[in-house]
Amino acid sequence: MRLRCAVLDDFQQVATELADWSSVAGQVDVVSFSEHFGSEDELAAALAEFDIVVTLRERVPFPAGLLARLPRLKLLIASGMRNTVIDYAAAEAHGVTVCGTASSSTPPVELTWALLLGLARGIVEESNSLRSGGPWQQSVGADLHGRRLGLLGLGKIGSKVAQVGLAFGMRVGAWSQNLTGERAAEVGVELAASKEELLSDSDFVSVHLALGDRTRGLLGAAELALLRPTAYLINTSRAAIVDQDALLAALHEGRLAGAGVDVFDVEPLPAGHPLRTAPRLLATPHLGYVSRANYETYYGQAVEGIRAFLDGKPVRRLG
């Protein structure tokens, strides 16, 4: 009997174009879903007849309740090698093998700088004005050279963001709860005395932390109030690290020069969500990992994972 494989959230309809599925074509039928299933009931209904599911990053949770409603599911492949929204114990209990893929940290680094530069130089507003016959040169750009870039987190992504900042001639500081002076020195940046010092003395602040109990709500109203009114905040990490209501209030009240956001509490962002129309906000629909090379890796290794599972030798197992 042929197996059925569902590819979730293939918004661009590229899953079967950016990878060679021929190695499993004789045994597996692939169905790509371009729409997002927003509830467990929708997912359970859509995936009921599938043996294999390929899911992107941590967009779709697979809790115990959902896994119990998918009796045919035998293989779940998630892009990346870290996933906090899959119940691994429940997967094992239901006989579901969970595997991952490699994932590059380069695309989110590049998007971080696209947002930062877009904000600093008013790229969207100036482009729209030029195309619509509006004012010629309506904004005065913010300089990067000599300004301070504050990084919350100095891991794989944060350290690469730091290197670009140094190349721009910025003063780069970093802080996280476990960051040491030795690690900061390795990257060539300053270790901030505290989170509060980093926020209050930075012209640009960029978030590069993993979401966990210690980082959830790390930047609330009190922390955002420490930022200068000329400062910019960038978040390409996880939405829950920054209090969304507090961020909206700061933007509407002009207490921030601007914010660049790629992550949201609810994704896809509902049509009427206030972040869609917030002032001083440059927002993108979670494009941090969305690049051709990354997708080729995700879907190419998903095919490898399916082939290995069919051969009885699963690779890159998670959990």
Q: Which residues are catalytic?
A: 238, 267, 286
d(C-alpha 80, C-alpha 99), whole Å: 9
The DSSP bridge partners found for residue 268 are none
H or E segment to which residue 3 belongs: strand 3-7
d(C-alpha 7, C-alpha 152), whole Å: 34
Order of strands, edge to edge, in the sheet holding 3-7? Answer: 28-32, 3-7, 52-55, 75-78, 97-100
Alpha carbon separation from 75 to 5, 71, 213, 241 (Å, rounded): 9, 11, 29, 31
d(C-alpha 153, C-alpha 255), whole Å: 23
Terminal CA-to-CA distance of the chain, rounded, Å? 28
239 backbone dihedrals φ, ψ, rounded to 5°:
-60, -40
Instruction: Name the residue among 208, 140, 122 with its Cα closest to residue 172.
Output: 208
